[in-house]
Amino acid sequence: MLVLLGIAVVVVGFVARLNPLLVILAAALVTGVAAAWAPGVSVQDLLLAAQHTVEAFGKAFKENRFVSVVWLVLPVIGLLERAGLQERARTLVSKVAAATTGRLLLIYLVIRQIGAAVGLKDLGGHAQMVRPLVAPMAEGAAENRYGALPDKTRFRIRSFAAATDNIGLFFGEDIFIAIASILLIKGFLEQNGILVEPLHLSVWAIPTAIAALLIHGFRLAMFDKRLERELAAAPAPSGAPQPEAAE
């Protein structure tokens, strides 16, 4: 039962809002050490168990690539954010007069869905794309039109940016024949005596992906109208910069 201490570490770490990667690593170490513990075991043996746990991580990454390459990119994204990546993204989108929050997110939805459909599912993502680029640009488009945004609106824009990434990935990846979900469906059907080629499953995923694109695209258009209705006539907070008039 001691190996379940790793779950407790995960729960406590997330409740305390600690770094998720460090929490998972700590949980793995606790689980590995707890599995090796027994009455009379020396401290040296427990340290050796911790070392073996870390070696297992390295071996899994080297031989099977269980750890996605995207996790290696996160430190680079963090450094870019510290150097002002989000601010530069806002500045860039503010120079495009026709840019709106809905239009920008719609473009990202198309790119995300097409990328997932051809197997580039790591092209986007919350950590490496939405947080540092897409969400700040979506906020910048709204700020360029309506000035400073209230927190409620800012968080709603971020939620739409995250949802756009989820929808594009979820409905786009099933078009790619080598994705895990397609192979899982194929294997399950074969176990029940139904032989289906992965290509057939992918083809039937195309209408669903198109429907998701149209439906969420309509929601983004409605979101633009909602922002205009709520913010165009609303007074800007005191001391907030006013949007520049369009030339």
Convert the pLDDT of each residue in 130-177 to its tens digit.
888 888 889 988 888 888 889 999 999 999 999 999 999 999 988 888
Q: In whole angstroms, what is the distance from residue 129 CA to residue 127 CA?
A: 6
- Which two three-digit tokens encode residue 7? 């779950």
Q: In whole angstroms, what is the distance from residue 232 CA to residue 5 CA?
A: 53
Domain boundaries, the chain: 2-64, 70-231
Cα torsion 229, 232, 236, 240 to 10°: value is: 120
pTM over 0.85: no
CA dihedral over 198, 66, 46, 4, signed as positive or negative: negative
| Torsional class of 179: left (φ above 0), alpha (ψ -120 to 50), beta (otherwise) | beta
pLDDT digits (tens, 9 = 90+) for 175-231: 888 777 777 778 888 888 888 888 888 888 899 999 999 999 999 999 999 999 888
Tell me the HSE value of 183 on the side-chain side, using a 13 A CA sphere. 3
pLDDT digits (tens, 9 = 90+) for 119-130: 888 778 887 888
